[in-house]
Amino acid sequence: MIELAFSILASDFAHLADEVAAAERGGGTIVHVDVMDGHFVPNITFGPPMVQSLRPVTKLPLDCHLMVENPDAFIPAFAEAGADMVSVQQEVCRHLHRTLQLIEQNGMKPGVVINPATPVDTLIEVLPMVHYVLVMSVNPGFGGQKFLPLALEKIAYLAALRKEMGLGFRIEVDGGVAHDTVGAVVEAGADMLVAGSAIFSPGKTEQNAREFLKVARAGVPKSTPKKKK
């Protein structure tokens, strides 16, 4: 199942409820919230109050990506605010297993994130406990960056591991995912597609979302027909 997780970082904050509604009408099924603290990444964005404000205006799941230095301190607050999914950076979690448990204990679906320079193999031990793995295809901190092709190998490797280990985690990708890159991302094995700049545009958000998903779903690998004996 290919899903669009539209990133509100690229939206018009003054009309956020309308922006979310337009992306949802275009087929978006997940609201992606980029949480940055100005320490782990060189930018400051949203906190639990934003999630709390979003919760009454949409029934879509709220997917919060915590790009913060001490995620454990904020996980309960995001749960209370109404988040459905929370992902944390592998690079910042001293006790990743414990942090993922904390997310689940607070009633949310746990996810883990790796930056472009972080190998997939650092996640092997926690793959059985996550709902999704987020592969960053840019260095985190700002929207509108160019897609890094090295992410495709990571996505494909994760898809192979998922099959080999008999697991059901989903593969999310974030960074430079647009109409010209999404086909390759889906072919590699991703099924949760974070996009912001490619979606939000005055008067065109709904259309952009619809066209984005059309291109993405066209990239779904077709099963190879079995040869007749």
Q: Which residues are annotated as a binding site for a divalent metal cation?
A: 32, 34, 65, 174
For residue 21, CA distances in Å to 13, 74, 192 come to: 13, 27, 19
Binding site, annotated residues: 7, 32, 34, 65, 141-144, 174-176, 196-197
Rounded distance between C-alpha atoms, residue 177 and residue 163, angstroms: 24
Active site residue 34: yes
Q: Which of 12, 63, 84, 174 is catalytic?
A: 174
Active site residue 191: no
Q: Which of 34, 63, 84, 191 is catalytic?
A: 34
Binding site, annotated residues for substrate: 7, 65, 141-144, 174-176, 196-197
User: Catalytic residue numbers?
Assistant: 34, 174
